[in-house]
Structure 1
């Protein structure tokens, strides 16, 4: 009977990271050590401020609410449902819980002993990095479902120095300083500080005659104790140094070194020949060294982009961003966070391209230089959903100028747009097959012309107008004057308010999108051509959802929410009766984004076409599950927009 239970636990755990990274033997070892506990609704697991338990937790059934005490009362920070891992500060911790955990409903939990998992951390670098990614920012939840991560998005948006997810270009290689500054016990504090200043380092290791480490003094010690507390400079270093040294072997794996620093809150880690204090010092690693090795961290990539106008270097950085993207996707990082990070990187490239173009042409057009303009991202990039470097869609909007400057303005902004497009192409973003780019004079126009374009599309919803609406209505200002974009948005919603029938045509267009499954519930694949027998995930699954989300958000008059899963989240608030359906649709879209991006990364293409025969059983079922909301949503718009009349 015991073996049956262990097997059931293992079968469940292997579906969720980090357990999905374990081999069969390790998974069975963990499963055999798991305790299964039941909690009634509202029963507490642990409270904020309590010492961490020797377990972390996995939700088998039910839901757990993580809450935080605030002046206004108890605030729910996160919900954990099936497969979610939480309470993991115990794993790296030695610190109290920062949140409380209560059963939001009757729940069944797996308690995983930290002692069992620690050995795996030391041997399995993928598991180690998975946890390290979450703990760098002190997260207590590692989610497998990635639609509810507003907090991560806000952190990233508001603080570009955030390192909440650290991804390394080569985790096995990190800069280790071998020339360690050392000093003996005869030094006083002033002598030690002078040596540190002369060598321009942030620490000094105090050693004995055999060069064995006795302690360490850092610049933080000098600031917080010597300066702040007024300790005399003549004080022996033995009175100031941190004597309870934690040391590691210099040839330890990166994950071992990094996790040791996180676990023990170390800014400097001393390395010795045999990994004990009874061996000569032969290296030191600092958190600064870690930072320099973070080749694929969002913050580092963005910082590098902001400090270069070299298009070759920009391309290299964007290539590295793709490595980071692969790691995020494979490790089930929140799609909201992933989309935010990739959008931020793409936007910085656009902003730098804008600077390059301005530097190149502004001096030749002094009378136009001060004219406000705005570079618009359209389509998937406008919706903040472009993970891969698929083809670009963009345009330029500029303020109206006097008659005598119209020719010069048109010429200048076309050059600006063309230069930006060229930079994007150089960075690996291919040109648009339909030529919807800022290098096409048709899409480089003053505000009055753009208003005319949209008014015409809304007034005369031809097939071309409806096609344009799927691209241009999702514009987003990236560089230049966002006020211009706001004026255009205001005009569009005024027009939609006056011409409601346009929404009926949008609804018809959304309703007529091709179905993903055939009569016998098989994938509808291409019948001929280059992609014969492949499934078009964009046309048959993603576009139906983007079209419906756009239509419904327009019908509510909501502005400045372009992202598809954000639109569904907003719709869930606006229409409580359809709340669950909209949440399900948003999650489905995130899954589709992830699947397409992974497909593209694995095959070096845009990921649009997937061969169903190459999908595993679980992947096929997951993909089919994402189709479920489409038919329900189409039925809603059929009734709401009276499509029976329009379809006659």
Structure 2
């Protein structure tokens, strides 16, 4: 490249369009073009990085052990944070032959201190930092697709039978094996293919005899791909031959399955469509269990692609509710259908539970529901135990349908709500909070809406209850000192030098927003939706609402990433993080988030006069 082309390239990479002419000249004078082979390590974990890299061609993966954390492709740079900290937390390795510009660290650091635009970009406010990489996230998702292998997608099982089968026998095999495609093999070992559309278009429309041989509607001349081929190559092959599916082989030339256009579309949609479809079409409890076991894979995939946590949360909770709705339809006795409402509560009710932590659910029966105590007990026990089998642990507080306290008639729930509000002890306040977050997962939605209306009526406009409800936040301290240092719990020996970001941040934020929302009688359960509603009502101004949302998302994302790492290490998930495991920017963001939580807490103290309660 000429000097002019180098300058044009550098100026096209954000935020380097803000370089002065002298700084751009300095960059161009010191950059070199470097070539890396496929699977070559560019920067090792634990090393002191020497260069800032700009990708001209190829793909680079940021990895922690074998897990891909991020991907950098054409016109992206890495890793400025490592250069700032002079320490590489992860390893950077090429996924294919790669060409980069390399800029010496000392030039980058010098320019960073001289250029205010660059400095503000790498050290921004929390709202800006957490909201400025939408385009990069899209590019990374495309890059993930570009290096995905056929085996990463949903490859259907290959079922092979002989050509002597009748049309009826072949259709029976497809139904029993639950596959959309059937392979046939004749006496010469030649293979043919029959799809579900062949039955519709050739058999039904032509009114063929079901006793005819299946070979009459089969097609030959199969097209193959290998499971280690790139997924986009499979798509190109399908487009080239005008096919909707191809047969997949392994390195030993053995047929391992069939991949179709739906599988490709499902993968590009991060597999959520496929799992959702599996839930909808499930015919047995085992089908549902198989779908539920895919949730973790989806979370990891979405997180690795840089998808924002609010969208991950939304997708997973949609799948959770579909799963519960289907499970309820399988297990519920006829007496409950149309006469009850299954609700999820707590973080799941707020659509904020991503990992399978514990069950928080209840069953509300209509007052005219006719079901015996024995039948009801049998169902609720089965429902809870099935969810445990699916990977949803029991609630330590026993807030589950199998606990009679949380399974009762609508009238009985009204009595409960009345006692919770008029006998404001800690347990009743907690139950009110849990119930206020409840959301219909299956059954008659109007039942829970009526009870929410009743809750609003009983609470009324009394300042006393609202203040008592909000006061619980005073039991928790934000772990940030006067001089912006982190404050650790010296009495907690098990979690020395670790922060409980749920108690010190997420809970205070969630409960504060919940208290203000209950006061305003909002039906929203999701924290972010509640914040937006409170902004529309003038409780929060635009800037503070955005700050609260950004802080909530950052803390939740930090918790998710930490727990995904713990799952990979086969450790128990919890709410603790060690700030020493964070880079400089993440530490700054964590401090900024805690400052926002503190600001919100002070707003609640003033609004509800908590110091006088």
TM-score, length basis structure 1:
0.60
Distance in 2, Cα, partners of 1:248 & 1:609? 49
Alignment match, 1:392: 359
Show CA shifts across 1:189-239 (max 9, x none). Answer: xxxxxxxxxxx99xxxxxxxxxxxxxxxxx9xxx9xxxxxxxxxxxxxxxx
Alignment match, 2:172: none
Alignment match, 2:144: 130
Query: Are 2:581 and 1:614 aligned?
Result: yes
Please tell me whether the aligned partners of residues 150 and 228 of structure 2 are also in contact (alpha carbons under 8 angstroms).
no
The 1:290–1:372 alpha-carbon spacing in structure 2 relative to 1, beyond 3 Å, is same
Matches within 5 A, 1:231-310: 253-257=229-233, 260=236, 287-288=261-262, 290-291=264-265, 297-310=271-284
Distance in 2, Cα, partners of 1:327 & 1:552? 35
Distance in 1, Cα, partners of 2:260 & 2:366? 51
The 1:298–1:446 alpha-carbon spacing in structure 2 relative to 1, beyond 3 Å, is same
Shift of residue 487, structure 1, vs aligned partner: 0.7
Shift of residue 128, structure 1, vs aligned partner: 4.5
Q: 2:375 aligns with which of 396, 399, 412?
A: 412
Q: 2:444 aligns with which of 455, 460, 481?
A: 481
Query: Are 2:316 and 1:342 aligned?
Result: yes
Shift of residue 295, structure 1, vs aligned partner: 11
Q: Secondary structure at the match of 1:85?
A: helix
Query: Are 2:347 and 1:380 aligned?
Result: yes
Alignment match, 2:429: 466
Q: Secondary structure at the match of 1:29?
A: strand
Q: Pairwise CA RMSD of aligned residues?
A: 4.5
Alignment match, 1:2: 27
Alignment match, 1:433: 396
The 1:592–1:410 alpha-carbon spacing in structure 2 relative to 1, beyond 3 Å, is farther
Alignment match, 1:162: none
Any unmatched runs of 5+ in structure 1? 33-57, 63-79, 92-125, 134-166, 180-199, 202-218, 224-246, 272-282, 363-367
Distance in 1, Cα, partners of 2:225 & 2:280? 37
Query: Are 2:577 and 1:527 aligned?
Result: no
Alignment match, 2:561: 598
The 1:400–1:81 alpha-carbon spacing in structure 2 relative to 1, beyond 3 Å, is closer
Please tell me whether the aligned partners of residues 373 and 481 of structure 1 are also in contact (alpha carbons under 8 angstroms).
yes
Alignment match, 1:645: 612
Q: 1:543 aligns with which of 479, 496, 507?
A: 507
Q: Secondary structure at the match of 1:445?
A: strand
Distance in 1, Cα, partners of 2:156 & 2:279? 22
Please tell me whether the aligned partners of residues 598 and 607 of structure 1 are also in contact (alpha carbons under 8 angstroms).
no
The 1:597–1:168 alpha-carbon spacing in structure 2 relative to 1, beyond 3 Å, is farther
Distance in 2, Cα, partners of 1:496 & 1:384? 24
Query: Are 2:43 and 1:29 aligned?
Result: no
Distance in 1, Cα, partners of 2:300 & 2:558? 11
Alignment match, 1:558: 522
Distance in 2, Cα, partners of 1:645 & 1:477? 37
Shift of residue 20, structure 1, vs aligned partner: 6.9
The 1:372–1:298 alpha-carbon spacing in structure 2 relative to 1, beyond 3 Å, is same
The 1:415–1:636 alpha-carbon spacing in structure 2 relative to 1, beyond 3 Å, is same
Alignment match, 1:83: 133
The 1:469–1:270 alpha-carbon spacing in structure 2 relative to 1, beyond 3 Å, is closer
Distance in 1, Cα, partners of 2:532 & 2:455? 23
TM-score, length basis structure 2:
0.63
Please tell me whether the aligned partners of residues 454 and 492 of structure 1 are also in contact (alpha carbons under 8 angstroms).
yes
Please tell me whether the aligned partners of residues 21 and 127 of structure 1 are also in contact (alpha carbons under 8 angstroms).
no
Shift of residue 344, structure 1, vs aligned partner: 1.5
Matches within 5 A, 1:93-108: none
Please tell me whether the aligned partners of residues 350 and 479 of structure 1 are also in contact (alpha carbons under 8 angstroms).
yes
Please tell me whether the aligned partners of residues 518 and 524 of structure 1 are also in contact (alpha carbons under 8 angstroms).
no
Query: Are 2:354 and 1:354 aligned?
Result: no
Q: 1:329 aligns with which of 300, 303, 309?
A: 303
Please tell me whether the aligned partners of residues 149 and 227 of structure 2 are also in contact (alpha carbons under 8 angstroms).
no
Q: Secondary structure at the match of 1:584?
A: helix
Show CA shifts across 1:411-464 (max 9, x none). Answer: 433332222111110001100111111000111111111111112212221111
Shift of residue 519, structure 1, vs aligned partner: 4.7
Which stretch of the first structure deviates more once superposed, 285-294 or 315-324? 285-294
The 1:379–1:288 alpha-carbon spacing in structure 2 relative to 1, beyond 3 Å, is closer
Shift of residue 526, structure 1, vs aligned partner: 6.3
Show CA shifts across 1:478-535 (max 9, x none). Answer: 0111111111011111122243421111222224322222455214346335444432
Distance in 2, Cα, partners of 1:383 & 1:589? 13
The 1:87–1:295 alpha-carbon spacing in structure 2 relative to 1, beyond 3 Å, is closer
Please tell me whether the aligned partners of residues 315 and 427 of structure 1 are also in contact (alpha carbons under 8 angstroms).
yes
